Structure formats: C-alpha cells, structure tokens
C-alpha cells in the first residue's frame, strides 16, 4: 500500500488535506505525523503550512522538520509543499521583519503591500483571498488533466518570486505577476490550496499520489 506522510508540526490545515488525499485515491495510507521514522519510511511526503512564517519556521526547527524535509528531498521521493509549506522552501521571507527559510529553492517571499493596486490603479485587498487563474509555465506530471488557466483557491499576503526561472511551473497575476508553483526534480510546491480547489485541486493531488518524482 502506498503511504504519504503529511508532516504535522502544528501549523497546517491537516484534516482537510488528509481527507482530500483519501478522497482522490481510496486505499492510500495517509499518515498525519510528527514521527521522523514515519516520514522517512513514507513513499511520498507533503509539507503543509498556514499562519505566520516566523512561527512556522520556529516550529520546523524546534521539531527537526528541517532535517526531515532535507532527507525526503535528497531521497528522491515525491515531495509536495503547500501554501506556507511552499514559502518555507524559499531562501527568505519579508514577513515578520525578515525570516530565513529552508533554502531548497532560490528566491524570496515578498509582501503585496499595504496599498496594493491593479494595473488600473484600483485598490486590491490584501490578503489575496479567493479564486484566481493559474497559468502553467510548461508541462509537468502534476498538471496532467488540468488546463492552463484553471482557477485555484488562494489565501495569502505574501508571494514568491523565484530566482531560477526554469523552475517556475506556474504563475498568477494579482497586481503583480508572481510564481504560484515551482518544480525541480522530485519537488513540487504550490501557493494555492489544492485541497480547497475542487476539481482542479483534487486532480493535482491525485497526480501527486501517482507521480514517480521524475520531471
């Protein structure tokens, strides 16, 4: 039986993620766990996250999740980061006065701003909350069966700008163009919440559960 470890470090919407995974592939064993051995032995690993990045990173280091993430990525097993679990893979974030992150991807996490506006000068609400179109930057196994321009659900005040453009798997526009998905080798990470994104999001999770970790 295939197993997926959803890392529990106290900062993720774990119940909805686990239920979505079980829904798209009945029979999969979803382990919501803080046990390093279970993470190490799982076939796939998912890093969730909600809340302030400073609190997330503090718990990640306190509980040794940084080591679990590094081992999972180096092992070649399929790895998925979601929301703050995506931001945590970057080098640093502007949030909370500046926070160092895990550095698995080169790039930064930036604030939309207190006076964020669209191209016509109209005020945009921050956080960016709700549905938005995700434009794929190229082919990837996790996009199978999902059309470019499909809408996904977002809740965030900070956005990723990747340094290595070849790693960008999708972009989105909300006053600025930003990178909502990155893919490199066995790692894929997204800013949006696939577990809350209905058909397209569930298809992405299904693709992840059937992915061998190869681009």
Report the catalytic residues: 83, 193, 195
- Omega cis (within 30) before 73: no
**Rg, C-alpha atoms of the chain:** 16
How far separated are the first and last CA of the chain, in Å rounded? 23
| Two structure tokens written together for 16 | 């909805």
Comparing CA positions, the residue from 174, 171, 131 lying closest to residue 153 is 131
* Backbone dihedral angles phi then psi of residue 99, each to the nearest 5 degrees: -135, 130
Residues in the chain: 215
Comparing CA positions, the residue from 85, 76, 75, 72 lying closest to residue 38 is 72
Phi-psi region of 65 (alpha: psi -120 to 50; beta: other; left: phi over 0): alpha
Helix (H), strand (E) at residue 204: helix 198-209
């Amino acid at each position: 039986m295939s197993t997926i470890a959803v890392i529990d470090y106290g900062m993720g919407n774990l119940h909805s993620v686990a239920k979505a995974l079980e829904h798209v592939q009945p029979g999969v064993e979803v382990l919501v766990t803080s046990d390093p051995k279970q993470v190490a032995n799982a076939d796939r690993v998912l890093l969730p996250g909600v809340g302030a990045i400073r609190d997330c990173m503090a718990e990640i280091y306190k509980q040794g999740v940084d080591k679990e993430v590094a081992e999972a990525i180096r092992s070649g097993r399929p790895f998925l980061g979601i929301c703050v679990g995506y931001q945590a893979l970057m080098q640093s974030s502007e949030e909370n006065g500046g926070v160092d992150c895990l550095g698995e991807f080169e790039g930064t996490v930036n604030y939309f701003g207190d006076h964020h506006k669209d191209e016509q000068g109209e005020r945009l609400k921050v956080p960016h909350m709700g549905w938005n179109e995700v434009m794929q930057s190229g082919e990837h196994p996790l996009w199978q069966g999902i059309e470019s321009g499909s809408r996904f659900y977002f809740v965030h005040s900070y956005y990723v700008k990747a340094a290595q453009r070849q790693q960008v798997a999708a972009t989105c526009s909300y006053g600025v163009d930003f990178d909502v998905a990155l893919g490199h080798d066995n790692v894929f990470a997204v800013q949006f919440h696939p577990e809350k994104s209905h058909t397209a999001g569930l298809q992405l999770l299904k693709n992840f559960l059937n992915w061998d970790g190869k681009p």
